[in-house]
Amino acid sequence: MGFWTVDPWVVRRRGKTTYVERQETRTGSSLRQPYMRVFAALLLLLLNVIVHQTNPVGLSHAAAYIPLYGTAFNFLCRSTLQDDTSSTNAARVIAAMVSLVLGAILARLVVFPALHESWTMFSAGHASFRVVETKAADGHVQPATYRHVSGVANDGKAFRHEVHIGSSSQGSWAVMLVITPLVMVVAASIYNCFVPSTLAVTGVVNVSYAQLYPSVRGISLVFNALVLFAVLDTMLQDSNRCDAVYGGWMQALRTHLWRHHACRIVCFWLYTAGAITFAVHGLPGFSTWCKELFEHAPDHLLHESWRAFLSGLVVVLHLVVLVQDWDFPTMATVRGIYLPGLTTECLALHVGRRCVVLTGKWLVASLTLWMLPLDMWVFGHQLNYEAASYGQVTDPVTHRILSITNATWLAERACGVHCYTIPMNATGLSTAPTVGRHFGWPVFDQMPAVYITLIALFLFFRLAWTEDSRFMVAVHMQGVKATTYSAQLQSSALTAIASDALRQLASIKHLYALRKHVDGVCITLAMLGLLLMLFQLHSIWEVDVVFGHAKYPRNALSAPGQTYSVVILVSTLVLASQLVTRTQLTLQIAKLRHQVPACATLWRHPATRFTLAAELVANLWIVPPFITGFAELDEFQFDASTCTLPMLRLDGGCYYRLRYPVETLGLVMLVRLYWIVRLVRNHSGFYGQRVDFLGSLHNVSTDSPLWHFRAIFHHRPVFAFLFCTLVTWLATAAGVSVMERSIPSALDSDLTSSWLIVVTMATVGYGDYFARTRGGRFLTVMGGIIGGTIVISMLTSLFMGSLQTTFGEERVLYVVRYKRWQKARLDAAVNLIKAAWRRHKLEKANKSTHSADRALFKYMQKVRELRLGAITDGDDVVGKVREWKSESVVPLLVAAHAKRTAVLDDLEAKVQRVGSLVTTIESLVLAKTKKKMTVS
């Protein structure tokens, strides 16, 4: 199992949006297993029921607010208000109709063509817009209806089928349904700037949530039930891929039952009728039963964090169902796969020469796309929920949400969208209990719902971009080179051993690239779990501060931070599976490089087994969900007769009473920071198949982290220094902040603890803040002092290394010093002659020569020193210049002399040959002359 890995041995045709082949990533392969698709659709149905039944907004008697479509509807169809006039009403309707037409034109002629050029999802396999490809048949030209498509799926299994291309504007209606309301909302916002606030267009409709939600529950149930059936129906009809790709999945059911259209159609309409019947008649009774059930168990009601998390999970599952389609992201309709309950692949409406086509895949996807805005609307209700925003109050004892049933009273106290002026001490209100509780915890406890939604969106767009069949030069060229390389391997010029060696080398290169991808996934998951653990501890601390050490409700379902634990658990399990995959790839590489025997396995090779076990222990350490509580311990400080708060006097000494949540044990997850070393190694430029090959030639272990650290610090010292400093600083600051939160301390703030660690690492130590608990002191010593000492040593080495001159700079400096030495030597020689001549003049005049002798000996000593080439700093300038001369200039002179000698020797040889030729010619002429004389 890997992420984003695309098979490189496929050559793509040069058509930007032409759907001619399909490649599946390993992530898509893992998600698109048949049982995974059924499980995701079934889980989506169950979670939708739970979310809608436990949503307290569904029992609110306040006016419903629908952000996008409600605003567009009110802009066009709102009833006449009290302050409305005929002119304002007409202006609003005209503006709404103009914006409606403009939005449709903009969506169809601007937005959709741009999407058509970018994704095959909106092109139906056509390279051109609005033009259907043609082919010759019976001498006539008619539109092409199908196109052959080849692809690979489920880890490289090949398949081939035909897809429908009868429409050149696939998905245009979906784009118009999204863009047109947006344009109308923008127009409504502009309209609101020119009218009084009493006439402003909003998304508030004249229906309460309590009146609207039964329909919402019923529609959601029916649509999600149809999604489940459509997923099953599509897979059971696609026998080609079920047999070729997924090992004959459900072969008996497909062969004996589903291949008969009558059985399939009857099952669909019976299933649909049953879902609609239950939604109309059974769902109200089911809602009443759920409400009565929770009446007797109010402690198990979901609070706002769980409701937001489940609502976000529903949105995530909608995206997963779309991604799991076997033809994602093209949404192509495969030939022979009919619409649920029908015997046709597409619904077509011919209007003159044009044809409006509703393809099967877009009809199935529309069920999900239509439900996605509705579930996002529900998700918005739960995220940062406030009871007063929906005309509700909270019981101060049980924290149960109560809905105010007097709609008239609410309407009188409405102050805007999601705004009601409800007195704090309101009594005598008519209320009804809901199935939910509200604790008023900080919004930080609800953030996992946002995190999983952002992750799902990233995966959705990343898979859509990676698996799209657009033409990309890099992939195209890679495929061409791969095909050419495969043809070269089959050449008869290569021996069997050479061909096997080249294939083995290509496999090693591919495995290295795949392991690098898996490393990236592991690093992402490890860091995600670590950050979520720190966020979880911060959330628990915030809730503990807000509630003032009050006890939480009696069950673990109502404890803070549990949604974080669920996400951490899932990410850790995926990380463990990826870790096993990485170890298997490492073992395969070692086999191909003959470092381990070919019969070695994952659990029978001692070194591999130990490494995998150690990494699993380091990465699987988490605090599981629903294990909650606090641990209290008394930490001794010193002996004293009196103690100041917050210390307590126990057994003749002063103690801190520390109170840590069980989730604090998750700090062990800081061990996962070793993954950052692999991240730096993978992107350092010193890691890969070629580097390992060179290392094996020179007996260097290029897999060693120490070797990579040396290489990076040698070539990129600034990056290595900043990387080590930031990791040590931030990790230590986070740990110290967590350990100090159990007592009133300034270090419970992340910024303050960061300040303490940075001044400790810099060996400054102002003393304005210090750790009080033993855990905080231990982390300060380990990270702030020991880590800081290492970082400062690196900084010193970096600074001293920056002062070292390069080879070229040394040459410049020595040449300058050599010229300065030459000048000083000449000046000293002149001064020596001058001093000697002056002494000679004084001696000849019978005058005292003491000063002249001192000057003479002074300059003699200076000339002697300069003659030896010594200067004040002790460098042998003359020797260094002579060395460079012998290293660079002398070889050039020798080479020039040898070349000149060779040229002269060549010329001399040519002259000798010419001379011998002249001698030969003269001898021939002389012989000929003698012969003529003899004849005459």
pTM beyond 0.75, yes or no: yes
Rounded to an integer, what distance in angstroms lies between the CA atom of residue 779 and that of residue 761? 12
- State the pLDDT confidence band at 868, using cuts at 50, 70 and 90: low
- Could you tell me if 864 and 928 lie in one domain? no
Average pLDDT, the chain: 80
- Residue 637 in any domain: the answer is no
497 Cα distance to chain centroid: 42
**Same domain? 209 vs 354:** yes
Question: Is 295 a domain residue?
Answer: yes
- DSSP readout, 115-139? HHHH-GGGTTT-SSSS---EEEETT
Whether 190 contacts 122, CB under 8 Å = no
Q: Is residue 112 part of a domain?
A: no
Q: Measured between alpha carbons, how far is residue 755 from residues 205, 555, 768, 775, 794 in Å? A: 52, 38, 10, 18, 21
Shared domain for 440 and 525, answered yes or no, is no
The reply to whether 775 falls in a domain is yes
pLDDT value, residue 289:
86
Residues 839 and 749 in one domain: no
Task: Characterize the bridge pairing of strands 134-137 and 140-143.
Answer: antiparallel
Whole-number Å distance between alpha carbons of 49 and 893: 92
Helical segments of 238-335, H only: 239-244, 251-253, 261-277, 283-295, 304-323
Residues 413, 435 within the same domain? yes
| Average pLDDT for 896-911 | 84
Q: What is the rounded CA–CA span in Å between residue 459 and residue 524?
A: 13
User: Which region among 126-135, 148-157, 198-207, 615-624 has the lowest average model confidence (pLDDT)?
Assistant: 126-135
Number of domains in the chain: 5
16 pLDDT above the threshold of 60 = no
Pairwise CA distance, residues 752 & 769, whole Å: 8
Summarised one tens digit per residue, pLDDT across range 605-640 is 788 888 899 999 999 999 999 888 888 888 888 888
Helix axes 447-467, 360-382, angle to 10 degrees: 160
pLDDT of residue 474: 32
* Helix, strand, coil abundance in the chain, percent, nearest 5: 65, 10, 25
Tokens of 302: 């979901």
Check residue 535 and give its pLDDT: 92
Of 292-296, 366-370, 598-602, 767-771, the range with the lowest mean pLDDT is 292-296
Beta bridge partners of 157: 153
C-alpha to C-alpha distance for 278 and 58, rounded to whole angstroms = 19
The answer to whether residue 482 scores a pLDDT higher than 60 is no
Tell me what pLDDT residue 553 has. 64
Q: Do 410 and 514 fall within a single domain?
A: no
State yes or no: pLDDT of 97 exceeds 90: yes
Backbone angles phi, psi at 397, to 5 degrees: -95, -55
Q: Is the pLDDT of residue 313 over 90?
A: yes
Distance between CA atoms of 76 and 315, rounded to whole angstroms?
29
Q: What is the SS3 assignment for 659?
A: strand
> Which residue bears the tokens 């040593």?
793
395 and 419 together in one domain: yes
What pLDDT score was predicted for residue 876?
59
Which residues sit opposite 160 in a β-bridge?
A: 150
In a domain, 2, yes or no: no
Tokens matching residue 859:
């300059």
Q: Which of 875, 899, 914 is the last residue of a domain?
A: 875
Residue 368 corresponds to which tokens in the numbers above?
Answer: 């999900």
Tell me the residue range of the domain where 446 lies.
26-67+133-166+203-459
Q: What is the dihedral of CA 618, 624, 630, 633, to 10 degrees?
A: -30
Q: Residue 323: which of 272, 265, 372 has the closest Cα?
A: 372
Average pLDDT over residues 432-444: 86
Residue at 185 is within a domain: no
Examine the domain organization and report whether 426 and 383 are in the same domain. Answer: yes
Same domain, 861 and 912: no
If asked whether residues 513 and 621 sit together in one domain, one would say yes
Ramachandran angles phi, psi of 726, nearest 5°: -65, -45
Q: Are 20 and 163 in contact (CB under 8 A)?
A: no
Q: Which two tokens stand for residue 820?
A: 């300065």
Residue 895 lies in a domain: yes
Burial of residue 447 (CB within 10 Å: 0-12, 13-18, 19+) is buried
For residues 521 and 440, membership in a common domain is answered with no
**Does 827 fall in a domain?**
yes
Sheet of strand 400-404, all strands in order from the earlier edge strand to the far edge: 392-394, 400-404, 431-437
Which tokens belong to 195? 């009218």
Based on the domain organization, do 871 and 889 belong to the same domain? Answer: no
Band (pLDDT 50/70/90 cuts) for residue 799 is confident
Residues 872-897 have a mean pLDDT of: 66
- List the one residue out of 257, 276, 37, 282 whose CA is nearest residue 154: 37
Terminus-to-terminus CA distance in the chain, angstroms?
A: 109
CATH of the domain at 775: 1.10.287.70
The identity of residue 165, as a single letter, is I
146-153 and 21-23 beta bridge pairing: parallel
Where does the pLDDT of residue 567 fall: very low under 50, low under 70, confident under 90, or very high at 90 and above?
very high
